[in-house]
């Protein structure tokens, strides 16, 4: 008997789609109007991102908005993640696969008082052992606007994903003390539906980091090329773990976060040579969690 793998349960489109109901309907807009509106102004490309599932009972979306009090991002992160875990763990979808974190002024503050570092402290205080074994794929980006709104969007499932690390990079959860009081809690990527014919690889926020060191400060083009190299390496790691081939041209949706809108033309020129279809790339205004870096990528790739 020949066993034929079933189709993947998940599909992602860099534009609105008819057909199956949307599991997640992200919109990129400077002034968010819903819990899945991302407060990163669109600079070019699609202004939305639609996630659909032919098996809607397999996945679940949980969105949490937490208001900061007097700019206390640490407490807001603690409260938001406690709320997230209290919702997810007792449910029929206890596995956190992918989390997006957005809050304004991510680099404000010096040293360990930087808002991103305080966010990491609050998150670490709230999460359970299951969260770190292994941590989900994730992105943390500085959104537009003034401090006040911490936004979490989490993709959850009935079954775990395959967590990925990048051999070019130190796992984020093993970063040395110089990067903050606690290490960031995320894996470099995750493969969903590995038992199907067309799994999806979800790449976490990917920047110009080799080992744990930021490279090419002040050189935007070099940062973007290094980020693409990291992304390609992660896709190869996905193939090594699953036997399914992932390539840049198999991108379903990619977000390119730019600290400075002036870098858009350079970004588009470099991305045009990457093999990623231009129609699937959304360029967004967003701050990278490391203040010395100016660009970050994240995306979804389907196995070929």
Q: Quick: pLDDT tens for 100-120.
A: 999 999 999 999 999 999 999
pLDDT tens digit string along 47-87? 999 999 888 789 999 999 999 999 999 999 999 999 999 99
| Mean pLDDT computed over 183-209 | 96
Cβ atoms < 10 Å from Cβ of 129:
6
pLDDT at 17 over 70: no
- Residue 142 is predicted with a pLDDT of 98
Range of the domain at 27: 10-302
Q: Percentage of the chain surpassing pLDDT 90? A: 86
pLDDT tens digit string along 260-303? 999 999 999 999 999 999 999 999 999 999 999 999 999 999 99
- Residue 19 is predicted with a pLDDT of 62
pLDDT at 24 over 70: yes
Decide if 266 is inside a domain.
yes
pLDDT tens digit string along 222-231? 999 999 999 9
Decide if 238 is inside a domain.
yes
DSSP letter at 36? T
- Residue 107 is predicted with a pLDDT of 98
Decide if 2 is inside a domain.
no
| Mean pLDDT computed over 34-46 | 95
> How many structural domains compose the chain?
1
| Mean pLDDT computed over 41-50 | 96
- Residue 272 is predicted with a pLDDT of 98
Do 50 and 13 touch, CB atoms closer than 8 A?
Answer: yes
Sort strands 149-157 and 95-104 into parallel, antiparallel or unpaired: antiparallel
Decide if 113 is inside a domain.
yes
Decide if 44 is inside a domain.
yes
Cis peptide before 134 (omega within 30 of 0): yes
Decide if 107 is inside a domain.
yes
Decide if 1 is inside a domain.
no
Decide if 5 is inside a domain.
no
- Residue 8 is predicted with a pLDDT of 62
**Reported pTM:** 0.95
**Distance, C-alpha 235 to centroid of its chain:** 15
Query: Picking from 3-17, 48-62, 149-163, which range would have the lowest pLDDT averaged per residue?
Result: 3-17
d(CA 287, CA 42): 13
Q: What is the CATH number of the domain that holds 287?
A: 3.30.1330.40
Do 209 and 216 touch, CB atoms closer than 8 A?
Answer: no
Q: Which residue has the higher pLDDT, 33 or 110?
A: 110
| Mean pLDDT computed over 25-49 | 93
- Residue 15 is predicted with a pLDDT of 72
| Mean pLDDT computed over 192-203 | 94
pLDDT at 18 over 90: no
- Residue 4 is predicted with a pLDDT of 34
pLDDT band for position 2 (50/70/90)? very low
Residues in CB range of 256: below 8 A, 6 or more apart? 267, 271, 281, 282, 283, 284, 295, 296, 297
pLDDT tens digit string along 245-258? 999 999 999 999 99
């Amino acid at each position: 008997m020949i066993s034929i793998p079933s189709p993947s349960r998940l599909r992602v489109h860099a534009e609105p789609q008819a057909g199956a109901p949307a599991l997640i309907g992200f919109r990129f807009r400077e002034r968010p109007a819903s819990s899945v509106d991302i407060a990163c102004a669109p600079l070019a490309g699609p202004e939305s991102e639609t996630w659909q599932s032919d098996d809607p009972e397999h996945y679940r979306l949980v969105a949490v908005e937490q208001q900061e009090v007097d700019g206390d991002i640490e407490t807001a992160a603690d409260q938001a993640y406690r709320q997230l875990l209290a919702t997810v763990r007792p449910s029929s979808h206890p596995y956190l696969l992918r989390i997006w974190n957005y809050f304004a002024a991510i680099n404000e503050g010096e040293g360990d008082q930087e808002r991103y570092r305080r966010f990491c402290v609050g998150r670490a205080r709230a999460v359970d052992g299951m969260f770190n074994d292994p941590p989900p794929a994730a992105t943390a980006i500085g959104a537009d606007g003034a401090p006040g709104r911490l936004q979490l969007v989490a993709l959850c499932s009935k079954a775990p994903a395959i967590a990925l690390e990048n051999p070019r990079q130190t796992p984020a959860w093993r970063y040395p003390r110089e990067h903050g009081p606690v290490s960031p809690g995320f894996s470099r990527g995750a493969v969903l539906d590995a038992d199907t014919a067309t799994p999806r690889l979800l790449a976490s926020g990917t920047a110009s980091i080799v080992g744990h060191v930021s490279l090419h400060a002040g050189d935007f083009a070099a940062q973007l090329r290094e980020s693409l190299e990291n992304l390609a390496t992660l896709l190869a790691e996905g193939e090594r773990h699953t036997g399914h081939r992932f390539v840049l041209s198999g991108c379903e949706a990619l977000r390119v976060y730019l600290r400075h809108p002036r870098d858009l033309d350079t970004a588009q020129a470099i991305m045009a040579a990457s093999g990623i279809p231009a129609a699937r790339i959304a360029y967004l205004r967003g701050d990278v969690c490391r203040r010395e870096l100016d660009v970050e990528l994240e995306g979804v790739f389907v196995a070929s």
